[in-house]
Amino acid sequence: MDREDPATRAHILIEALPYIRQYWGQTFIIKYGGNAMVREDLKSQVMQDIALLHYVGIRPVVVHGGGPEISSLMKQLGMEPSFIGGLRVTDAATMEVVEMVLTGKTNKDIVSRLNRQSVRAIGISGKDDNCIQARKLDSPAGDLGFVGEIVQIKADILRLLVREGYIPVVSSVAIGADGESYNVNADHAAGAIAAELNASKLILLTDVEGVYRDFQDKRSLISEMDVTQAAELIEEGQAERGMIPKLEACMQALQGGVGRAHLIDGRLPHALLIEIFTDSGIGTMIRP
């Protein structure tokens, strides 16, 4: 069989039709991060995937955190990272760096890559129209500075952009009650936005295959579970530390009315398309 054969191509397009039909007009929240935000080939494939989603009638909203560029800039500036209980202490100077990188560099890089795919992307941060509102995270381990937890999503601007055919790209910087910036977890931001926008799907691009029943046993990948099982994984300590905010984000989204949450392996080329347009579910899917 020949991939260059037009008939094959036509067949494959037709086999995508049931999926296109099913998702037409729905809003998908895509948490973009990990290797898919680092490797040049993956970046480019994700942008194509999102453009395709847009053109077949899906309404994607992209939410992102930072990549390695934050640490890199901090190092250049001679700033010493400090941690409490494994969490980075974000003092005012660090917050400034975080915000500049996330909103001034990462966000606009995603935006212009999407625009090159002939879609119309608009980048905003949680400070625009006070879109993501947060308060200081009260950590038992100590004062983490400007690390915030989300209090409310004011999604008017997102709804407007989506309705008018734009693709919003949202950086995970939030605004506090007194106008101060907060660094919020991008997974949490994506989950909260998915719930507020009543999205059909929340999809998190990760650097793992999915969720494991036992994270030390790579053969225990869970391909499908429900929200109760996700909660149990966390409670029972079976979830990897990095997986916890992702599972929490999925749970918040699903409890807020989102149809499905997906944790997929962003290291696979076109992971988004494969997940959405074929029967080959990849990664872990969580039902309400």
Site for a second copy in 219-248 (CB under 8 A): none
Minimum Å gap between C-beta 187 and a second copy is 21
As measured in angstroms, the least distance from the Cβ of 96 to a second copy is: 7
Q: Is 280 in the site for a second copy (CB under 8 A)?
A: yes
DSSP string, 115-142: HTTT--EEEEETTGGG-EEEEE---TT-
User: What string of DSSP letters covers 201-254?
Assistant: EEEEEESSSSEESSTT-TT-EESEEEHHHHHHHHHTT-S-TTHHHHHHHHHHHH
3 binds a second copy (CB under 8 A): yes
Inter-axis angle of helices 107-115 and 40-55, nearest 10: 60
The answer to the question of residue 26 lying near a second copy (CB under 8 A) is no
Work out which of 29, 173, 208, 261 binds a second copy, going by CB under 8 A.
173
Q: Is 246 a catalytic residue?
A: yes
Residue 67 falls in the annotated catalytic set: yes
Q: Is 38 an interacting residue with respect to a second copy (CB under 8 A)?
A: no
Tell me: does residue 84 bind a second copy (CB under 8 A): no
Stretch that binds a second copy, among 26-34, 80-88, 172-180, 221-229 (CB under 8 A): 172-180
Q: Given candidates 46, 102, 233, 249, which one binds a second copy under the rule CB under 8 A? A: 102
Neighbours of 259 (CB within 10 A): 16
For the question of residue 187 being annotated catalytic, the response is yes
Radius of gyration of the chain (CA): 19
Q: Of 173-181, 200-208, 219-227, 258-266, which part binds a second copy (CB under 8 A)?
A: 173-181
Helix (H) or strand (E) holding 31: strand 27-32
The SS3 assignment for 46 reads: helix
Q: How far is the CB of 146 from a second copy (least distance, A)?
A: 14
34 catalytic residue (yes or no): yes
Among 46, 61, 170, 175, binds a second copy (CB under 8 A): 175
Residue 229 neighbours by CB under 8 Å, 6+ apart: 222
Catalytic residues: 31, 34, 67, 187, 246
